Structure 1
Amino acid sequence: MKVAERFDVTKIRQDFPILNRKVNGKPLVYFDNAATSQTPQQVIDCIVDYYQNYNANIHRGVHALSQEATDAYEKARQIIQQHFNAKESKEIILTAGTTHSINLVANGFEKFLQKGDEILVSGLEHHSNIVPWQMLCEKTGALLKVLPMSETGTLNMSQFEVMLNPNTKLVMVNHVSNALGTINPIQEIIKKAHDFGAKVLVDGAQSAPHLKADVQALDVDFYTCSAHKICGPTGIGMLYGKRELLEALPPYQGGGEMIDQVSFEKTTYAGLPNKFEAGTPNICGGIAFGRAINYMNEIGFENIQAYEHELLLYATKRLEEFDNIIIYGTSPEQKTAVISFNFEGLHPYDVGTLVDKMGIAVRTGHHCAQPIMEFFKIPGTIRASFSFYNTKEEIDLMIDALKKANSMLL
């Protein structure tokens, strides 16, 4: 039995009110899930419930609303902890998102690096997992080295072994490429990096919607993701870090909540996780983040992964009907539900603009991954990224729109 036959996508789509709207008079086909997922009614209701019934600042108040908000916020932290299988909730730092999380770690490692140390990043990274390390190298004199990618959109793992050495202090890699959908062999990367004493940060922004990472099984040092990729709100995300590493890092920001005692002579800092959560947090966002994770677990990540793989295979087959198409990246067996492609001789922006007129939302451009585009010597790609609430019928609509755009632009 195919997954689609036991996966009730029609029922699931009813949870997403935005899927009922029209764009330019056409039914919305939303294939920009790698940029942000849509939000189910259950999460929207959670947000409304917070502001309607117990909106208050947390951790400080003795009144009922503050206690209710605090309990809900910390419960969400526990949901996130359990989902990623961290040892304890103190290892989950709630941040503004993946970019914030990476910068937090980069800022903290400034005190541990010196001239001649090496930081290794992969050639498949989003700018958010490149720029903070460049800035750290400028401050410390450390060297930034790049693990190269191949024509198939995968990492050159034999070169990785060559590049690792006793000077390698940090290794940064995404679990899944946002531009190509490539699933990287992070367990192998983590083990080999640890053999040289290097710490590893994995950017899980693109994997979290599709795969359920177990941070203890991976033995990863830091792992991060953003809620808005996994049916939650924007402006909230999480950083997992091994407790001993988080305790060794200095605070990222100063202010309320992250303190123990303050005087004009000296300030001492709170323990985890408060040490890294200065100021009033995104309380509602954190609570909704927990609800979004529960929602996806109710559907089941095995179901999600299997169904999305069917969509990926179907979309790949349909796109290969074009005789002037170039698909970038490896085979569907090594990818999440993302396809990056171009039409020979056509600019991706022009194609994206035309299909938008037909109600099809795809992403065009470099996807904040300019080094990947430079590798392929292209200005950007058309990226169609699928979620568990998408359908094969929507893929057919995209193909029809692409045929029209292709004929109009040739």
Structure 2
Amino acid sequence: MKKYSKILALLTAMVFVLSIALTGCGGGSKTSESQPSQTQTAEQKKEPVELIVWSHLTDPEIAKVQEIANKWAEQTGNKVKVLADQSDFQAFATAAQSGKGPDIMFGLPHDNLGTFQKAGLLAEVPEGVINKDDYVPMSISAVSYDGKMYAVPIAMETYALFYNTDKVKTPPATLDDLIKLGKEVGFQYDVNNFYFSFAFIAAYGGYVFKDTGGGLDPNDIGLNNEGAKKGLELIKDFVQKYKFMPPDINYDMAKGNFQSGKIGLYISGPWDVDGFKKANVPFKVAPLPEIDGKPTPSFAGVQAAFVSANSKHQKEAWDLMKYLVENTGLPLFETGNRIPVIKSLLDNPEVKGNEILSAFAEQAQHAIPMPNIPQMSQVWTPAGNALQLITSGKVPVDKAADDMVKQIKQGIATMQ
């Protein structure tokens, strides 16, 4: 009896142990299936981000960008605020380094980018954000340094020749035509502003900094070479020989004279279009006249957008950037007369059908982007002073040009 009791007890114990073991295995399997992976947990816990965009565009343009950004936000579950900003480089740098800056700057003249890039404030544009071949080549050069893109072009602008259609039936196609017509109907522009007069310097082979193909060389300045001096002589003749304008003329004077009908030819940019329309000025726009059988290359400005290197949301910021550049080209053309930089948009019927802005777009095809390296900041004042001395006849072109380059080099030396 005792023997059977021991056997029964032993069997009972074995069944109990086996049941625990089986239950343990089954429970382990169930636990493994119900627990999410670390990746799944991260995705479940991922919170929507809020991106801050600063912009130097006009208020109506900013409202349009916000409208488009909202659509991206709806699709991604994130939030976007587009804010007007007119701060300078130092203010942006301070905000960015303190964690109070934007994730994106959308709409900033490209010639300001050099200072930002040198300070390490720009994130390099990743592959896949844009296709460079879709863009006007000049616009890509404007946002590149040492072969790398640090911003995305969103629009371009340059100047061209306005003409009063009551006074001029056919715009001048050559420099000789310009001089002949200028004598008959008057021709003026802000002649002592290097931004505008650069066109006539570049037409003969002058340049600011040598383009090496991989960037701009600030040690090679071409504003006193033979071609530059020939262009400066022409600018002097506009004032001293042909008497088209007084040596002290400025932007407001030239604009006012064209708007009032005192002159028939005037060089300026698309920013004057709306004002002339409101004043009922009869006008059209044409590319600058050719010089020596070649297009005259104006200075071009490119409105650019970049992602701050200090943004904590790089992936989302670049995703928003891609969405904005793909969807704002035509709205900015319609809202702010911004000339698109995407080739397909330049062929858009709405753009091609705008006779005035398409003329600026045609001139932009021959334009040279303003140098985007920091050393450009040392060019404007010496160049403007040299133009004033030349147009007033106070200093010969040779000396004024040589002194200008000397002063630019001295200014650059103080930066190093």
TM-score relative to the length of structure 1: 0.28
Larger radius of gyration: 2
- Larger helix proportion of the pair: 2
TM-score relative to the length of structure 2: 0.27
